[in-house]
Amino acid sequence: MILPQGMQIIAPVPSEFTQILTAEALELLVKLHRKFEERRQLLLVLRKQRAQRLDAGERPDFLPETKFIRDSEWQINAIPAALQCRRVEITGPVEAKMIINAFNSGADSYMTDFEDSNSPSWSNQIQGQLNLKAAVRRNLTLEQKGKTYRLNEKIATLQVRPRGWHLDEKHVWVDGQRISGGLFDFALFMFHNAKEQIAQGAGPYFYLPKLESHLEARLWNDIFVMTQEELGLPRGTIKATVLIETILAAFEMEEILYELREHSAGLNAGRWDYIFSCIKKFKLDKNFCLADRATVTMTAPFMRNYALLLLKTCHKRGAPAIGGMSAFIPIKNDPEKNAIAMAGVIADKKRDATDGYDGGWVAHPGLVEVCMKEFVEVLGEKPNQLTKQKPEVNVGAGDLLNFQPETPITETGLRMNINVGIHYLGAWLAGNGCVPIHNLMEDAATAEISRSQVWQWIRSPKGVLQDGRKVTADLVNTLVPEELAKIKAKGLEGKFDRAAEIFIKMSTQEVFEEFLTLPLYEEIE
């Protein structure tokens, strides 16, 4: 294959991969990289500087310099017909069986994921592009264990989540530097599928992860504008939903919608990464300490306030508001436990629908019907609740920073963090980023909560177990072998010994690693 001038691919390129890595697609990628990489790097520097100020005690607030945006009258551009109804959205990685099952699940929308539920090996990224190219053209099939998987006549509307700004694509270099992983995922998908999707009556729709500011949203918007020009598409063809999954983005929701207003498809309450972001940003605050992960639900004060502010912000600006993930998966061998889990899912979706959300996320096809029922009961025949305004909601900075509950912190919760962290990391290193653990579908976000919470408990004076013991590095080192043995006893596939080493290092070392996927990425092919 002939590469554009200045590009290197440091990975095997079997013949089928050349269907994605075409000269024209790579030329688009090079143009986008050269135009925008300097800005991406600057924004990552700004992230680090902001993190240092928070470590030093600064408290976030709504930006005075963008008050005019929050105070003025404006709406995002019209939502296309294919994105009007999003009562249930299912998510999953770009693996063929999961793609087919998600499309066929009965959900209104399917967010296919190159990010948190995907281990970003070179093979996974390119095979994922091949799978989606085939799926968009309705010819993706899979033969597995004597069963044939193929797409139904009616399938969910596709939305694609590329990687976040912090992640590189280490296998592709331009002018001597790695390119952005998110730009790589986005540009290749756009080049091969946008026109086909438009011809089918939909369009290229995306989910944008891990944004921390409206300036990061502005970068995506400028990339959308240039990509549409390069591909000869009308401006505004691309639509993107932003995951509000960082505490800093929660203070800039209106500004993020404003920056993307001609390309916006709304906001999503990315709850798991949001909890992780809160721990990460306030990790050195002696007054900050969250209880066991299982107790930090959407009814916790800071989570409830964030969810209501997101809903009010979206509907004020004519934008869809999509609720967060139900990570439960059906428990087939235990009807009693399954009933308890389903009751939790129903309560979660009922609250979102009653509040006014336009839809919500699930991680398993078995939850689509349950989720759909709760939204249909509230919406009836209406596709969404955009007319449901929330004038009674008045959320200030202090409400977003009201971090409760602080107790209980238990040995069971500590062990659960260790177990989930090791189990997930081991599977991720072996190439699987979407892992069922203890009846929950775990992805990188929940692993991030696990290791960051342990790190913070060790350092916080409030990191004390219910029985009075302080959480320490020694205690973690004692518990890790026990939890590792439990995982290995299940006979699961994964690099669990290495995962245990990484978990101990990340949760006990003095320096807090910003994202666990950054050092882990260097260990996979």
In sequence order, what are the beta bridge partners of 277? none
What is the pairing mode between strands 321-326 and 359-362? parallel
Instruction: Check if the beta carbon of residue 498 is closer than 8 Å to that of residue 426.
Output: yes
Catalytic residue among 86, 161, 317, 451: 161
Helix axis angle, 473-489 to 496-508, nearest 10° = 160
What is the number of other CB atoms lying within 10 angstroms of the CB of residue 160? 24
CA distance 255 to 267: 12
Compute the residue count for the chain: 525
What secondary structure letter does DSSP report for 56?
T
- Closest alpha carbon to 482 in 505, 508, 500: 500
Name 301's Cβ contacts closer than 8 Å, sequence gap at least 6: 399, 402, 403, 404
Helix/strand/coil percentages in the chain, nearest 5:
50, 15, 35
CA pseudo-torsion sign 99, 103, 104, 107: positive
Beta-carbon neighbour count of residue 144 at 10 Å?
Answer: 9
* Annotated catalytic residue 443: yes
Report which of 479, 469, 524 is spatially closest to residue 503, judged by C-alpha positions. Answer: 479
How far apart CA 126 and CA 112 sit, in angstroms, is 14
In 290-430, where does DSSP find H-type helix?
A: 301-316, 335-355, 368-379, 397-400, 411-429
Among the listed residues 117, 113, 86, the one whose alpha carbon sits nearest the alpha carbon of residue 440:
117
| Burial tier of 98 (Cβ tally within 10 Å: 0-12, 13-18, 19+) | buried
Does the annotation mark 161 as catalytic? yes
Other beta carbons less than 10 A from residue 330's beta carbon = 14
Catalytic residue among 113, 348, 358, 443: 443
Helix (H), strand (E) at residue 128? helix 122-136
Active-site annotation, residues: 161, 443
